[in-house]
């Protein structure tokens, strides 16, 4: 059997290596239009900011590694067409211009996403840079090291934007962060968490130009010099533009089912509406456990797991069903270590989900330990079923790994009432006997033993809030 994989980043790399380990004789070819594969885009800010000195460490596989595993890797080859009836893909060699067809028995589409680059006046000026791949990162790093570049604007206050702001601030740049939203990172966190980071950003001198829409870019001698928003103008020497991404699936329109955003619709096996075509990674939908429906979750962790799913089901005949995904994610910026999973309370309101929440703050270790710090935790559960559907955590100490447990809890239907019974070990070096997770659950049940109990006026026991 021959399997072709289009795209060789997180999802595609995982897929081809899984295929090979499960089937030593399969004919496997992967095409990618870049001149490199398996680049960790989430490490861009680390390289730009100087935390990573050798960018080679940001590649977790190489053409040589895949070739050693008898995987045929074709870089700088662009996918330009498909004939699903003939089961062929049209490929263009970007070096020679040659075009040819390649046949498949099974096709895995891992074409990913590409940054949205709207037709804003002046967006083509020199110094307006998108941020996605290794070559973009190299250009942004050079700008960060350029002493002549003093004023930087980052457009887009999502994960990438905030991380890049952090990197520029560490280099002493004067940085503005522009976004049409009223706060940073609104997709993953509620206001209680984003305001923690925003406060620190302001203390570091960042100009938070939120609730502002970019109208145009102005330049001098072909180079960007101003960002014009609907509320004013910001002088700049450089701009990083990162307002979101779109699935790279135009070639599939009319061939397999896509959603309104262009993400590929898949079943529990990552199979599309065509039984011989699978889709994985950022370009595909997955089952969202919190929303209880199929959505796009554009995260590297989702990508690699969908790569495993598709490969196993191609080799073993649709035997491994997806357990669903929770969108577990994390970030470290401006000294804050944060993670979230599932759905935020703000999103619950937007989607009409009847949910309840607890926002809890406690010391992460016993107060007799010199290393204790505050940790902020939010847990969200569906009101009727009481199943947990979301969680967020933030601290200057690292407690992001608790989201692993919450991700599994959401996948397995853990309720807020069962949470205090999860077997979480205790050691003063790490946590408390009633740690911030257990105690948050007990708080919901009215069993926080560290609050005073008193006899109320109506002779009922109540907890002092």
Average pLDDT along the chain:
94
Rounded to whole angstroms, the Cα distance separating 151 from 153 reads: 7
pTM, full prediction: 0.93
Residues 156-171 have pLDDT tens digits of 999 999 999 999 999 9
Helices and strands (H, E) in the chain, number of each type: 10, 27
Residues 101-115 have pLDDT tens digits of 999 999 999 999 999
Rounded to whole angstroms, the Cα distance separating 131 from 158 reads: 12
Asked if pLDDT for residue 457 goes beyond 60, the answer is no
> Does 207 reside within a domain?
yes
Could you tell me which residues are beta bridge partners of residue 174? Answer: 151
Same domain, 164 and 230: yes
Q: Of 203, 221, 243, which residue constitutes the final position of a domain?
A: 243
Instruction: Assign residue 409 the CATH number of its domain.
Output: 3.30.390.30
What pLDDT sits at residue 264? 98
pLDDT band at 40 (very low <50, low <70, confident <90, very high): confident
Same domain, 101 and 145: no
> Does 400 reside within a domain?
yes
> Does 460 reside within a domain?
no
Same domain, 223 and 236: yes
Asked if pLDDT for residue 32 goes beyond 60, the answer is yes
Q: Which residues span the domain enclosing 352?
A: 337-454
CB 193, CB 359: distance < 8 Å: no
> Does 331 reside within a domain?
no
Residues 411-436 have pLDDT tens digits of 999 999 999 999 999 999 999 999 99
> Does 40 reside within a domain?
no
pLDDT band at 456 (very low <50, low <70, confident <90, very high): very low
Asked if pLDDT for residue 458 goes beyond 70, the answer is no
> Does 28 reside within a domain?
yes
- What mean pLDDT comes out for the span 298-318? 97
Active-site entry in 10, 77, 376, 399: 10
Asked if pLDDT for residue 197 goes beyond 90, the answer is yes
Same domain, 301 and 356: no
Q: How many domains does the chain contain in total? A: 3
Task: Mark 88-110 as b/e (b = at least 16 C-beta within 10 Å).
Answer: bbebbeeeeeeeeebebebbbbb
Rounded to whole angstroms, the Cα distance separating 167 from 411 reads: 35
> Does 59 reside within a domain?
no
β-pairing verdict for 88-93 and 77-83: antiparallel
> Does 198 reside within a domain?
yes
Any alpha helices (H) in 317-416, and if so which ranges? 345-351, 402-412
Same domain, 223 and 174: yes
Same domain, 178 and 227: yes
Asked if pLDDT for residue 300 goes beyond 50, the answer is yes
Angle between helices 191-203 and 159-170 (to 10 degrees): 20
**Proportion of the chain above pLDDT 90, given as a percent:** 91
Residues 45-103 have pLDDT tens digits of 999 998 898 888 888 889 999 999 999 999 999 999 999 999 999 999 999 999 999 99
Q: Of 243, 266, 301, which residue constitutes the final position of a domain?
A: 243
CB 99, CB 90: distance < 8 Å: yes
Asked if pLDDT for residue 462 goes beyond 60, the answer is no
Same domain, 181 and 255: no
All residues at 6 or more sequence positions from 92 whose CB lies less than 8 Å from its CB, including other chains? 77, 78, 80, 98, 99
Residues 359-403 have pLDDT tens digits of 999 999 999 999 999 999 999 999 999 999 999 999 999 999 999
pLDDT band at 452 (very low <50, low <70, confident <90, very high): low
Same domain, 393 and 308: no
- What mean pLDDT comes out for the span 327-341? 97
What pLDDT sits at residue 240? 98
Same domain, 150 and 108: no
Asked if pLDDT for residue 463 goes beyond 60, the answer is no
What pLDDT sits at residue 56? 87
What pLDDT sits at residue 453? 53
Q: Other CB atoms closer than 10 Å to residue 10's CB: what's the count?
A: 29
Same domain, 158 and 210: yes
Query: Could you give the angle at the alpha carbon of 116 between the alpha carbons of 114 and 117, nearest 5°?
Result: 120
Instruction: Assign residue 95 the CATH number of its domain.
Output: 3.50.50.60
Residues 202-239 have pLDDT tens digits of 999 999 999 999 999 999 999 999 999 999 999 999 99
Same domain, 207 and 228: yes
pLDDT band at 41 (very low <50, low <70, confident <90, very high): confident
Output the 3-class SS for 47-70.
HHCCCCCCHHHHECCCHHHHHHCC
Has 42 been annotated as catalytic? Answer: yes
**Proportion of the chain above pLDDT 70, given as a percent:** 97
Same domain, 181 and 135: yes
Has 348 been annotated as catalytic? Answer: no
From first CA to last CA, the distance across the chain in angstroms is 65
Q: Of 257, 286, 316, which residue constitutes the final position of a domain?
A: 316
Asked if pLDDT for residue 448 goes beyond 90, the answer is no
What pLDDT sits at residue 451? 74
């Amino acid at each position: 059997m021959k399997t072709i994989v289009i795209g060789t980043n997180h999802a595609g790399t995982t897929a081809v290596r899984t295929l090979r380990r499960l089937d030593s004789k399969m004919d496997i070819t992967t095409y990618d239009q870049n001149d490199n594969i398996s680049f960790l885009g989430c490490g861009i800010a680390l390289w730009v900011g100087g935390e990573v000195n050798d960018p080679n460490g940001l590649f977790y596989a190489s053409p040589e590694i895949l070739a050693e595993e008898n995987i045929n890797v074709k870089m700088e080859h662009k996918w330009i067409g498909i004939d699903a009836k003939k089961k062929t893909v049209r490929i263009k060699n970007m070096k020679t211009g040659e075009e040819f067809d390649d046949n498949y028995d099974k096709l895995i589409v891992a074409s990913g996403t590409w940054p949205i680059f709207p037709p804003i006046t002046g967006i083509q000026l020199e110094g307006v840079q998108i941020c996605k791949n290794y070559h973009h990162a190299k250009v942004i790093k050079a700008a960060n090291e350029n002493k002549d570049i003093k004023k930087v604007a980052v457009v887009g206050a999502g994960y990438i934007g905030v991380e890049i702001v952090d990197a520029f601030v560490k280099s002493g740049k004067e940085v503005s962060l522009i976004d049409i939203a009223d706060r940073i990172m609104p997709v993953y966190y509620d206001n209680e968490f984003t305001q923690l980071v925003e406060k620190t950003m302001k203390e570091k001198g960042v100009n938070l130009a939120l609730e502002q829409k970019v109208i145009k870019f102005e330049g001098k001698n072909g180079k960007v010099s101003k960002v014009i928003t609907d509320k004013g103008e910001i002088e700049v020497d450089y701009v990083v533009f990162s307002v979101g991404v779109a699935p790279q699936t135009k070639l599939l329109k009319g061939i397999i089912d896509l959603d309104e955003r262009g993400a590929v619709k898949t079943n529990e096996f990552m199979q599309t509406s065509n039984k011989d075509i699978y889709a994985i990674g950022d370009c595909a939908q997955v089952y969202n456990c919190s929303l209880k429906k199929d959505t796009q979750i554009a995260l590297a962790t989702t990508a690699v797991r969908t790569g495993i799913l598709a490969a196993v089901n191609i080799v073993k005949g649709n035997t491994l069903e997806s357990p669903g995904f929770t969108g577990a994610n994390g970030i470290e910026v401006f000294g804050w270590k944060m993670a979230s999973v599932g759905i935020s309370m703000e999103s619950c309101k937007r989607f009409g989900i009847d949910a309840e929440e607890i926002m809890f703050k406690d010391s992460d270790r016993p107060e007799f330990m010199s290393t204790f710090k505050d940790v902020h935790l939010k847990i969200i559960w569906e009101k009727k079923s009481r199943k947990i559907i979301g969680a967020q955590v933030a601290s200057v100490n690292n407690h992001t790994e608790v989201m692993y447990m919450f991700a599994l809890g959401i996948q397995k239907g853990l309720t807020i009432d069962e949470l205090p019974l999860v077997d979480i070990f205790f050691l003063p070096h790490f946590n408390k006997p009633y740690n911030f997770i257990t105690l948050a659950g007990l708080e919901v049940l009215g069993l926080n033993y560290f609050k005073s109990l008193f006899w109320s006026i109506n002779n009922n026991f109540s907890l002092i809030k």
